[in-house]
Chains A and B, each alone.
Chain A
Amino acid sequence: MLVIKNLKASINNREILKGLNLKINPGEVHAIMGPNGSGKSTLANVLSGKNGYKISGEVKYLGENLNDIPVEERAQKGIFLAFQYPLEIPGVNTNNFLKTSLNTIKKANGEKEIDTIAFLKMVKEKAKELGIDEKILSRQLNVGFSGGEKKKNEILQMKILDPNLIILDETDSGLDIDALKIISDGVNSSRSEKKSFLVITHYQRLLEYIKPDHVHVLSDGKIIKSGTSELALELEKKGYKKLN
């Protein structure tokens, strides 16, 4: 699904990723843990195609070189980033946005666009699964949403757009236990042989709910250790410093 070789990324002449290697097969869930400033969010940004980074190295997604592909095409090809801080978009109705997004992706893939009635029915079902109050979907996108509502809305988007590679950037931050459980259930029910997940997190807590196949430790722009979910427990006990 995703192969990263010797990925380096710098912004404003400061190197943040310093030669990162990672391979994710279809159906796998990988977790990346690391202290503040280790480059976790940069990795998420770079994979989403965000502007402003100077990049070298190789990133292949489904065999295709990602570096030259613009942001929207990555999304159309099935890469999804759930943001750590979802943006508030004033004046834009959440439902309208979700429909525009889904139909743009469908169109790009030569699929038939969904009509409003079918769309609303689908959204209603998926929102219910995630315990999202339907009313917020007719409000402005993320405007005035609580932290938990914003994160749930990201997972709702993931469910609607049905991507192949899902990057969760600190989706657990700012969530209470109940919301964490609902969101994890949402992710777990989407797991399949065809989908891969890259879960970026500070804390082992999330990994109790979303069980990873592989855990990697990111430190100073490189993966310094990889292992199974045992590694996450070890980190929780000893902290990141001991590993260095």
Chain B
Amino acid sequence: MNENFKISPSEINKIKPLNQKDKNFRLENLKLFNQQGFPSRNQEDWKFSDINQIFSKNFKNLESFKNESKPKSINFIKEFDHNNILIVNGKLENSEFKFEDKNKIKIKSFNDSNFSINNQENSLINLNNALSNNGLFLEVADNYRFEKAIIIYNVFTDDLKDNLLNNKNKIILGKNSELHIVEYNINQSKNKFIYNTTENVILNENASLKTINLQANQNEGFFYKFSKGKMGSNSNYSSFLFSSGPKFNKIDAEFDLEGENCDCNIKSALFINKDKHQEIKTKINHLVPNCKSYQKIKSVVDAEGKGVYQGKIYVKDIAQKTNAYQLSKALLLSENSEFNSKPELEIYADDVKCSHGSTSGSVDENSIHYLMTRGLSKKQAVQLLVSGFLNEIIGDIKSNSVRKFIENKIEVQLHGY
């Protein structure tokens, strides 16, 4: 590892308040990180995204923290009514729940080591445990169903440069509760920085959480998010990832299906251009019978872009009647584009329905020709085919206003092609 990336234990003293127990925990994790360094391709989980090499290439040194700073004006979404949460460089600034019963919602800034995810093998999680000083804690009371969606404005200020930000989030949905979140990332920095998040999602019995992750713009950020979910019986999780835009982005989601009849959905439409690098890695653990999981990942890779999908479905011996589905489709627009897919099934039960598929290829020449015979230029034809390819995912968003908003955002991103 680049020596510049060793982090001094004295950095931890900058985090306040800090009790001795907390400090020891952080020091322990920092030690683990300093021993291992950033993950590299030698580790199976990172073999298509050698983040050590990527960081070495892009950063000379890293600042562990960032002083408070104010964002420039933000274009808040006007297309549909929503509640909002504003997070600046990882710090919860304010929240407004205009449409809700506020007694049913607990929200606070979150930096509690007690909720840490322990993972000896993932040094980014160690790093997060050692240095995280910000984050969001959100809890929805039992039986409370949100009237409107929450938009989390995740803003990165223009003075970020060579910063390493570590964040922890925790979202808890009580029994029979329901929440829709749009995580809207607005990056005002033109410079490189790292945003390392660990997230804990807990869905109690019969709770329903829908999330959409969207980037407002192209940017130079390097993002890693480890998301650990626990799903109770009859709970429902649905996640849409439209996270095109950052220079690097890896979403690492691990969900434990712990209660019967729960339903876990992950859908993604990515457009990866220039020399951008995106990975979606999932691990869905079917631990009890009668659960469903569904994953559909569609990626368009252009120029020197690189896309990765690693998806694993684990079915425990007692998890009979599991229904698990996984599909990755990639469209490569250039000879230099790359897509790697590694689907895995690990099944110990004998009465299950599991299927997976993975395809990648270039745009169909006959389809291009067909569209060109109707007057479209080759570029227009390819753009239309690409947006059609991704629309299949976007079309699954049920709310008309949200879907239209996302469609427009993606259209703008594709226009840059």
Contacts and interface: CB of A to CB of B under 8 A. Distances in A.
B371 interface: yes
B415 interface: no
Interface string B236-251: 0000000000000000
Nearest to B389: A91
B372 A140 contact: no
Interface stretch (A28-36, A68-76, A127-135, A187-195): A68-76
A108 B387 contact: no
Given A101-B374, A101-B375, A51 B365 contact: yes
A50 B374 contact: no
Nearest to A77: B375
B384 interface: yes
A76 B370 contact: no
A89 B367 contact: yes
Interface string B352-376: 0000000000001111011111111
B373 A75 contact: yes
A86 interface: yes
- Most chain B CB inside 10 Å of its own CB: which residue of A72, A100, A108: A72
B212 interface: no
B384 A100 contact: yes
Contact of A71 (B364, B372, B392): B372
Given A97-B384, A100-B380, A100-B384, A91 B390 contact: yes
A89 B370 contact: yes
Contact of B395 (A48, A91, A100, A108): A91
Contact of B371 (A70, A89, A91): A89
A87 B364 CA distance: 10
Contact of B375 (A86, A90, A92, A105): A105
A86 B373 CA distance: 11
Nearest to A104: B375
B377 interface: yes
Contacts of B378: 72
B385 interface: yes
A101 B370 CA distance: 11
A203 interface: no
Contacts of B372: 49, 70-72, 75
B374 A161 contact: yes
A102 B375 CA distance: 8
B375 A89 contact: no
Nearest to A167: B373
A194 to B, nearest CB: 19
- Most chain A CB inside 10 Å of its own CB: which residue of B374, B380, B384, B395: B374
Nearest to A85: B366
Contacts of A75: 372-375
Interface residues of B, number: 24
B380 A89 contact: no
A180 interface: no
Given A91-B389, A92-B388, A51 B374 contact: no
Contacts of A91: 387-392, 395
A19 to B, nearest CB: 25
A88 to B, nearest CB: 8
Nearest to B374: A101
B375 A51 contact: no
Contacts of A59: none
A87 B375 contact: no
B390 A50 contact: no
A81 interface: yes
A196 interface: no
Nearest to A72: B372
A240 interface: no
Interface in B381-412: 384-385, 387-392, 395
A83 interface: yes
A90 B370 CA distance: 13
A75 B371 CA distance: 10
A157 interface: yes
Interface string A151-185: 00000010001000000000000000000000000
B376 A100 contact: yes
A97 B374 CA distance: 9
A178 B377 CA distance: 36
Contacts of B367: 87, 89
A223 to B, nearest CB: 24
A71 B388 contact: no
Interface string A79-115: 0110100110111100001001100110010000000
Contacts of B391: 91-92
A55 B139 CA distance: 69
A104 B374 CA distance: 9
A108 B375 contact: yes
Contact of A48 (B365, B373, B380, B387): B373
Interface of A: 48-51, 70-72, 74-76, 80-81, 83, 86-87, 89-92, 97, 100-101, 104-105, 108, 140, 157, 161
Given A75-B375, A101-B375, A104-B376, 7 more contacts: A48-B373, A72-B377, A75-B372, A83-B373, A90-B389, A104-B374, A108-B375
30 contacts: A49-B372, A50-B369, A51-B365, A70-B372, A71-B372, A71-B373, A72-B372, A72-B373, A72-B376, A74-B373, A75-B372, A80-B373, A83-B370, A86-B370, A87-B364, A87-B370, A89-B367, A89-B385, A90-B389, A90-B392, A91-B388, A91-B389, A91-B391, A91-B392, A92-B387, A92-B391, A101-B371, A108-B375, A140-B388, A161-B374
6 interchain residue pairs of minimum CB distance: A91-B388, A91-B391, A92-B388, A71-B372, A101-B374, A75-B375
